[in-house]
A and B are shown apart, each in its own frame.
Chain A
């Protein structure tokens, strides 16, 4: 009951277009004052401040910054050229190239919107010129951008790991195989469309051309291999790896590709700072809500009430999957993680679900949520780039979303899909 009233109040404020972070803060303060009195007010700034001083979350601004710098350094063009040389000979090659490029870009970027903004502005018009409908082009770019949050690094994974108190490195590793399966599945769907609508072949396969484009893009491949390799190998933490990524991106942009200018760099830094602040304010105000939830033992009560109905972990996972899919329709991924993960974690633990496995499920779920209107940040960005109607794009995108749903079901009910690599490396 308490939780319904609490989230009902947050919902009303959010519907009035009060920023979610502020709505959380207002409701939390009201709840704390009602239950503990005004004497508790002086604690609140300290709680808010402490909520924003979480060391592992420093990886968020640093990965955002590294991705922005790499994008401003002309990396997208080189990745597209390489993917085209490798995959362009297949029927419907350009759509498959788009998915392949998204998979490569995902290793640099932890954000699906950054992925679709960087690649979509080049590939959507290119697909249109080659005779693909703009709706199809937007659907391919939008769905493949979801791979950016499944394949490491991933900002939603960092956020989840910190809030759930689990290993971000293990979560990164868990995302690798499902990300590759998702990419191949999306390519299969694009190929099916290509055969049906007779989309063109781009170029013949020439090993010399593949080698030439590979050499030009080699820094784009080396950087994630080095950064993620040192993180996975335990040489550096995820946060330190993110700082190394910034330095490496600067080095590549300024001295190797020499395409990074100061104006681009300044814009990248400001955007990275603002995006970080937006998420971190949510994290900080959710700490206020955490004070009330902990005091009132709301997550434990929720866990107990679900446990009285079922303790079967597969049923619990099905319930949570449905919950996150519904939330994904209306909430941005960061907000959904911050709002729900602290509440459902006792239930997850009580049902014996591995928190890393659950983190992977949450990430894929919310990746799908970015594709489903009305609140679909990635889809909306793709549609804005392609100047296409969101609902028309959705009619095609539903097939690609079905592929992502299949990956979600596979990851949920065959945990080894993502977890075998984690077990192999860390357990």
Chain B
């Protein structure tokens, strides 16, 4: 019950982040069109929009992990008997966590190097600040995985499928 409350609060937090990024991205691109139309193009428009997309990618990915929405192929694991399914689920989760742990660690280490680089169109903004999304996003992804693992293992122990959320299907 306690983990469910944490999961729910974490989901609400990530939803707010995603909403803010989506709205800001839409507004920023629209603003870029308006300024260009009146003959006064914003020099930072492309660069900032691309940064917002990268942030949406990594923060949104953590939310997608929490909703089990990333595109996968659960068919084979679902067809296994529970005694094989549980180790398969644990192995898969360990691989995902290890991948993001490595990414987070290397991503954090490289920030120091990037702190002397600045955006082309906004020279006061450090590249390290924009790329902090990699270690932070990796940490949030790991947290999302950890919070969903107990439910996933419980499903793997039972007879039900461990299929991903239907959100994963909606893009096609």
Contact = CB atoms under 8 A, between A and B. Distances in A.
Interface of A: 13-22, 25-26, 29, 41-42, 44-46, 48-49, 52-55, 57-58, 61-62, 64-65, 111-114, 117, 149, 155-156, 236, 239-240, 242-244, 246-247, 266, 269-284, 330, 332-335, 370, 374-375, 377-378, 380-381, 384
A13 B93 CA distance: 11
Interface of A is mostly: helix
A277 B64 contact: yes
Interface of B is mostly: helix
B53 A52 contact: yes
A152 to B, nearest CB: 16
Contact of B95 (A18, A48, A240, A271): A18
24 contacts: A13-B95, A14-B72, A15-B73, A16-B92, A16-B95, A17-B73, A18-B72, A18-B95, A19-B70, A20-B70, A26-B95, A42-B109, A52-B57, A55-B50, A62-B26, A65-B22, A113-B172, A243-B26, A266-B19, A269-B19, A274-B18, A278-B171, A334-B71, A377-B169
Given A57-B53, A58-B49, A62-B29, A113 B60 contact: no
Given A55-B50, A236-B33, A274-B60, A17 B19 contact: no
Given A18-B72, A274-B64, 15 more contacts: A16-B91, A17-B72, A20-B73, A26-B99, A48-B103, A55-B49, A55-B50, A62-B25, A269-B23, A273-B56, A273-B63, A274-B167, A275-B171, A280-B60, A332-B168
A270 B133 contact: no
Contacts of B162: 17
Nearest to A68: B170
A48 B107 CA distance: 10
Contacts of A335: 71
A113 B169 contact: yes
Contacts of B133: 49
B4 interface: no
Given A29-B102, A155-B171, A53 B54 contact: yes
A269 B26 CA distance: 11
Contacts of A114: 170
Interface in B29-67: 29-30, 32-33, 46, 49-51, 53-54, 56-61, 63-64, 67
A419 B167 CA distance: 34
B56 A280 contact: yes
Contacts of B153: none
Contacts of A279: 171
B172 A22 contact: no
